[in-house]
Structure 1
Amino acid sequence: MRRERGQRGGPLLDGLIALLLLLIGLAGTAPAGLDQGVDVHPVAYPLVVVAALAVAVRRRWPLVTLAVVTAACTAYLILGLPYGPILLSFFVAVYSTAAYRPLRAAAVANGVALLVLLTHVVVGVRPPGLLGLNAAAAWVVVPFAVGATVRLNRESAARNRTDEARRLADAERLRVAREVHDVVGHGLAAIHLQAEVALHLLARKPEQAEAALTAISRTSKEALDELRVTLTVVRRDEPADERTPVPGLAQLPQLRERLAGAGVPVTVEVDGERRALPVAVDLAAYRVVQEALTNVLRHAGPATAAVRLRYAPAEVAVEVTDTGRGPAAAGTGGSGLAGMRERVTALGGTFAAGPAPARGFRVYATLPLQEEVA
């Protein structure tokens, strides 16, 4: 949007610059002649007008502007007219080629313009001698250097914006991948264990197998609903289904039932008064619990798990312990622990994972309640 506004405003700005140069040229040429003791011939003013008006298209056709202004200025100087405001148009033309054309093409064009301008040193009515060489070179080198600097800064800023956009896109992809990993990974792990239970009981205790299949159906539906909420964030053009709650600690009872149906009893303890948390903190805390319990399902073997929540004035703490096989089977080689750590540290929290004091594995995270601190 900002770039489009700049493109629309460019011709208007160039027109104003051309008008300003025209006014300065018409008003300042005669005083410049008086100051230098040179008579100003009436032909000077058409040349001043042509050079100034050519600047109006400097952004769209910078090389055409340079050619027209160079021709007008060269004719002006060959006629022996005083050094005056017309040279401001030449400055702007040289600057524009460096600012809006590739540097190599701009350098070649300005080199040709300098050679053409120098003809007044040889064939002019008032040849300035060698001093004219230095002055003409300065008229090209200085505005060219300024224009090239502006162009390089503009390109550097554009690259920085592109890099920042790419960084944000990568961060968004990582966030979505982490969400999908947590949702799908936990759902599939629970469904896998429940399916094994159903297969084991199908022949001998079909009524219990039916309960396992019912748990599979419920787990798959909950996982799909949660995945739909996650993907709605990516597809921003689609309205979110307000009937489906955003994952948070309020869904721990459903998560506990899901694990119980998969054969992992889970106890939940709460220290402090439950209260509404910032959405990002609530989601991160839930995902830590979910991923930690998923690791128990996958790696701990026959085990129980305990979830402890502690609500403090400035933070919420989450601890998940199990009685399973310990760190050797805790899934430390996968992306689960790394994903949990990234979630927590991104919100300014702390994360630790390792052997539990007695046996099994322990995951512990604290998340600051920034809204509460402020």
Structure 2
Amino acid sequence: MTEAAAGAGRAHRVRRPGPGRARWARAAAAARRGTRLPPLVWDSLLPALLLVNVLTTHAPPDLPVSVALTAALALPLLGRRRAPRTVFAAVTAAAFAQWLVGVQLPADIALLVALFTVGANSGRRGTLLAGAVVQAGVLLACLRWAPEGAFLTPFVALTATVVAAAVLGVNLRTTRAYLAAVEERAERLEREQEQQARLAAAEERTRITREMHDIVTHNLSVMVALTDAAVYAQHRSPERATTAMLQISETGRQALTDMRRSLGILRTDEPDAERHPLPGIAQLEALADQMCAAGLPTRLEVRGSHEHVPATAQLTVYRLVQEALTNTLKHTPAGTTAEVRIHCSTGAVTVDVTDSGPCPPPPAAAPPGHGLPGMRERAAAYGGELRAGPLPGGGWGVRTRLLLDSGGAASA
């Protein structure tokens, strides 16, 4: 797998999981909410039933007072979701007025509904206070209306209903808070995953840009050098000009192959990525021959076996050497020679590229490029620090040491 392929794989893995399921879950919840009746319709059912009950069961002499008290107890429930404490206070006042009048009504259930609403929408202190108020009402009601000698039974039963209403309200509030926290966490995870996907995509673009820079810069530099040689030799030595043109053609085909191989990870129908092996340490000899043909005599020395070096690490070595030799070819005069030394050990690969040419102009006078930064990025992926600069005895050198056990293979 190339460096770009590794990044693309990670980008795809980041995009697959949770966000789609989270969006599906929210869409399903919205669909379920869309099929429900509005809350006001549900809140209107109990007041309507209580009013119908009082109209059909009470005698005409008590009807006006019963209807008025029932309305005072039940109608405030219509606004219980918007102002639970205000509604509870209104229902409690109506219940106290009912107690003062001495009328027993089924609408007293409105107290339990108001207490449930307070528990579902208020904190612990508000719920305890509302429960204490209702419990006081239970005590007053039992003292006034409980049969003689049977106070305890209705008091315990009504106390149990008060506790149940408060507990159900608190449980609903806790459940809502839990679901809200879960939804917030899902949205946060989705945002984080989308951010990771964007970062992976940006990293992937950087990898592809770096790979394309190395491929295009090297091959174009070689082709320019060979073209100049062919133009120079076309009259004096037509055979050498023909050889240079053939090498230009071969270099162009190799460049196309490298580009297809590197970009083939973006297309499932691109066969070149599988048909051609990745360039590595074994291909450095062909690279040195190519540079020699382009006018840069290059000597290659490989010490140690490279069979244990991962393919991605070998690709990094190849690109480092390729970029260093390309810079030498572009920035040094004719007659410059280059030397490449590769040392493979059990846990590291040392890359050392030197040339005999004059030092390049200082950075302030040279146009900015991507060569050295890209080389440093490649070396850093394997825990290496790339050093590039003039040599004491003249010439220019590039040196780094790649650590094979630093995890760079996964991140290169």
Q: TM-score, normalised by structure 2?
A: 0.63
Aligned residue in 2 for 1:49: none
1:222 partnered with 2:254 = yes
- Counterpart CA distance in 1 for 2:175 and 2:306 is 67
Structure 2: how far apart are the matches of 1:338 and 1:179? 12
The aligned amino acid for 2:341 is R
Give the whole-Å Cα distance in 1 for the aligned partners of 2:79 and 2:195: 35
**Is 1:125 the counterpart of 2:107 in the alignment?**
yes
- Counterpart of 2:400 in structure 1 is 365
Please point out which of 233, 240, 245 is paired with 1:201: 233
The more displaced of 305-314 and 210-219 is: 210-219
Matched, 1:65 2:36: yes
Q: Distance in 2 between matches of 1:333 and 1:10?
A: 49
Q: 1:130 to 1:241 in 2, by over 3 A?
A: closer
Contact 1:66 1:113 in 2 (8 A): no
Identity over the aligned pairs, expressed in percent?
Answer: 33
Correspondent of 2:194 among 148, 159, 162 = 162
How far residue 166 of structure 1 moved from its aligned partner, in angstroms, is 0.7
Given that 1:327 and 1:360 are in contact with CA atoms closer than 8 Å, whether structure 2 keeps it comes out as no
Change (3 A) 1:257 1:142: same
Change (3 A) 1:200 1:240: closer
Gaps of 5+ in 2: 1-15, 51-77, 96-105, 123-168
Question: What is the identity, as a one-letter code, of the residue corresponding to 1:308?
Answer: R
Give the Å deviation of 1:208: 1.9
Aligned residues, how many? Answer: 299
Aligned to 2:356: 323
1:354: which partner in 2? 389
Q: Work out the CA distance in 2 between the residues paired with 1:171 and 1:111.
A: 55
Comparing 200-209 with 179-188, which one deviates more in the overlay? 200-209
SS in 2 for 1:341: helix
Higher relative contact order (CA 8 A, sep 6+): 2
Change (3 A) 1:365 1:112: farther
Tell which deviates more after alignment, 230-239 or 334-343.
Answer: 230-239
CA distance in structure 1 between the partners assigned to 2:263 and 2:120 by the alignment: 64
- Write out per-residue CA displacement over residues 269-288 of structure 1, whole angstroms, 9 at most, x where no aligned residue: 12223424201101000000
Superposition CA RMSD, Å: 3.7
Q: CA distance change for structure 1 residues 243 and 158 in 2, over 3 Å: closer, same or farther?
A: closer
The reply on whether 1:301 has 2:284 as its aligned counterpart is: no
Distance 1:5 1:190, change over 3 A: same
> Could you tell me which residue of structure 1 aligns to residue 53 of structure 2?
none
Task: Tell me if the contact between 1:259 and 1:266 (Cα under 8 Å) persists in the aligned partners.
Answer: yes
Q: For residues 245 and 282 of structure 1, what CA distance do their matches in structure 2 show?
A: 12
Match of 1:342 in 2: 377
When Rg is computed on C-alpha atoms for both structures, the one with the higher figure is 2
Alpha-carbon displacement from aligned partner over 1:23-52 (angstroms, at most 9, x marks no partner): xxxxxxxxxxxxxxxxxxxxxxxxxxxxxx
Match of 1:137 among 117, 121, 124: 121
Structure 1 gap segments, 5+ residues each: 12-56, 81-109
- Do the aligned residues in 1 keep the contact of 2:321 with 2:340 (CA within 8 Å)? yes
Corresponding residue number in structure 1 for 2:319: 287
Return the match for 2:209 from 177, 180, 190.
Answer: 177
- Establish whether residue 245 from structure 1 lines up as the match of residue 227 from structure 2: no
Q: In 1, Cα distance between the equivalents of 2:82 and 2:35?
A: 15
Q: CA deviation at 1:66?
A: 6.8
Cα 1:66–1:168 change in 2 (3 A) is farther
